[in-house]
Amino acid sequence: QVQLVESGGGLVQAGGSLRLSCAVSGLTFRSYAMGWFRRTPGKEREFVAGIIGSGLSSYHEDSVKGRFTISRDNAKSTAYLQMNSLKPEDTAVYYCNAAESLHSLVVMDLPPDSWGQGTQVTVSS
């Protein structure tokens, strides 16, 4: 059974930084692309960033490009999201997920029951 455990969220002032972690078990981590997503109340969950299994290629959604960086450590079966220059509009619950392709993450073609608990990020102005 796949388990995704997000951590690292918190309350930070605008302009600050946070590093989120996603610990994964139950799959061959290096064989899967990893992605970060977020959801704010009243809105659909949206894709934020994704990275292929080798870590050599990644894709970031336009609103976070240049501020957020996704990475992974295959030896630790963990994915990360470094978030810098945070803005109040980044406030959301952040989730990670795994898929066989980066495309599946970008279009969010993921099983409905595959999501973890997420981690809350709150950015104050």
Averaged over 86-109, what is the pLDDT? 96
Averaged over 6-22, what is the pLDDT? 98
Closest CA to 123 of 27, 30, 15, 24: 15
Residue 41 confidence (pLDDT) above 90: no
**So what's the pLDDT on residue 43?**
93
pLDDT band at residue 79 under the 50/70/90 scheme:
very high
Burial of 3 (0-12, 13-18, 19+ CB in 10 A): exposed
Averaged over 100-118, what is the pLDDT? 94
Q: Which residues contact 73 (CB under 8 A, 6 or more apart)?
A: 79, 80
**So what's the pLDDT on residue 22?**
98
Averaged over 3-22, what is the pLDDT? 98
